Amino acid sequence: MIPVASANAAEKGWRYWGYYQAAPGANTWTAAMTGPTVDIEDGAVEGWSFVFSSDDIPSTPPSVKPNFASICGKTKADKDTKRIALVIDFGAKAYAPKGEKIKKTISTCVRTAKTSQGIDVLGMAVKVRAAKSGLICGLNGYPAKECGSEIATPASIKK
Rounded Cα–Cα distance for residues 50 and 15 (Å): 7
Domain boundaries, the chain: 13-144
> pLDDT at position 114, please?
96
Rounded Cα–Cα distance for residues 52 and 136 (Å): 14
What is the DSSP code string of 52-116?
A: EESSSS-----SS---HHHHHTTS---SSEEEEEEEEE---GGGSPTT-PPPPPEEEEEEEETT-
> pLDDT at position 6, please?
39
pTM for this prediction: 0.90
> pLDDT at position 159, please?
60
Low-confidence residues in the chain, pLDDT < 70 = 1-10, 159
> pLDDT at position 9, please?
46
> pLDDT at position 3, please?
39
- Give me the amino acid identity at 113: A
